[in-house]
Structure 1
Amino acid sequence: MTPILWLLRHVNSTVMARVVEEAMKLKRDFPDFVAGFDLMGREDQGRPLWYFRHELSMPSDRGLLLPFYFHAGETNLEGSDVDQNLLDALLFNTSRIGHGFALLRHPVAKELSRKRGVAVEICPISNQVTKLVDDLRNHPGAVLMAEDHPLVISSDDPAMFGSSGLSYDFYEALVGFGGLRSNLRTLKSLAINSIR
């Protein structure tokens, strides 16, 4: 298991530049150990990705590979900075979109992420606890699953939500997103996406 380096998104650009510099060095020195880089923390309480556009462009400007795995679009407020993070994450060639709840409101971003094979990391229990959705049958993940968009199931912060593991999130996704047609093939597909 290779770790994703991360930083809380409320820092300033000076701190971000220093950490991206360090992440590039670690990725160069330990390519099989470091998977990439992400910004963590609640998007609505931190800075949007675009605020760090210069710092996040440093790897590509220098011709270095530092894959990004951005949390983006964990909102139901259209037009907000958090909503915009989804598009910016794709502009920065993210390898994964964490949460991506707002993806359905951005058809071009949705199609681009599907064509690129950018998995959306869905966190069913977290999305219910944070009140993004009450009924998982109405979760954007149900539409994405029906459209065969690559999905990955995650527990987000299980200890914080009183959950005891990923199995509950898989169950909720299976029943809530897949409905009556869900079966073992659905679970297999979600597990293969996680490995991929």
Structure 2
Amino acid sequence: MITRAALYVRVSVEEAEEGISTEAMMREMEEYCLTKENWEPVLRFTDEGYSGRDTDRPAYKAMMSLIDEWDVLLVMRMDRIHRNYDNHKEMMKVLEEKGKTLKSFEEEFDMESAVGRFVMDTIARSAQFEAEIEDEIKTYIDQNALMGTEEHKTRIIRIDLTRDGGGSFVMEPDENDEYHRVIDYL
């Protein structure tokens, strides 16, 4: 039996302006389908220059209206489909009612298990949290810039997590070791 895959790609307004290639993402997902037994990519949907904070996206709407034409929805990453937890929850409810599955190209986990659903839920909540923090930072920067203060320069600290030999996550400091200063400050 063939598993009909719908492939969905979304890039934000900023990512579209930066030239993030939706075509490259789509190609990667098509190749991924070839590695899965009996998967056939039957529909492809691309929302370029749209936010994931709402569902007012033409390709997203088309994909959901054609839900009976596919069995599995493949996304590049979970935060590409939604950056709003309520919208994510609503979509998952519809998928469950229709007997459909959601798969992520970059995040491999079993969404049929309790752990998989927990991880997916955490990723969806994290995507919304990140979107809200971005809004707060932008508001802060804009307000300070309007007031003419120099405090509108915000520094983002990156913390990379990798897995050690035992499968546990280990924090990898960036080159300037700024995260230690933040931890010490807290």
Taking structure 2 as the reference length, the TM-score comes to: 0.32
Higher strand proportion (structure 1 or 2) = 2
Higher helix proportion (structure 1 or 2) = 1
Taking structure 1 as the reference length, the TM-score comes to: 0.31
Q: Indicate the structure (1 or 2) with the bigger Cα radius of gyration.
A: 2
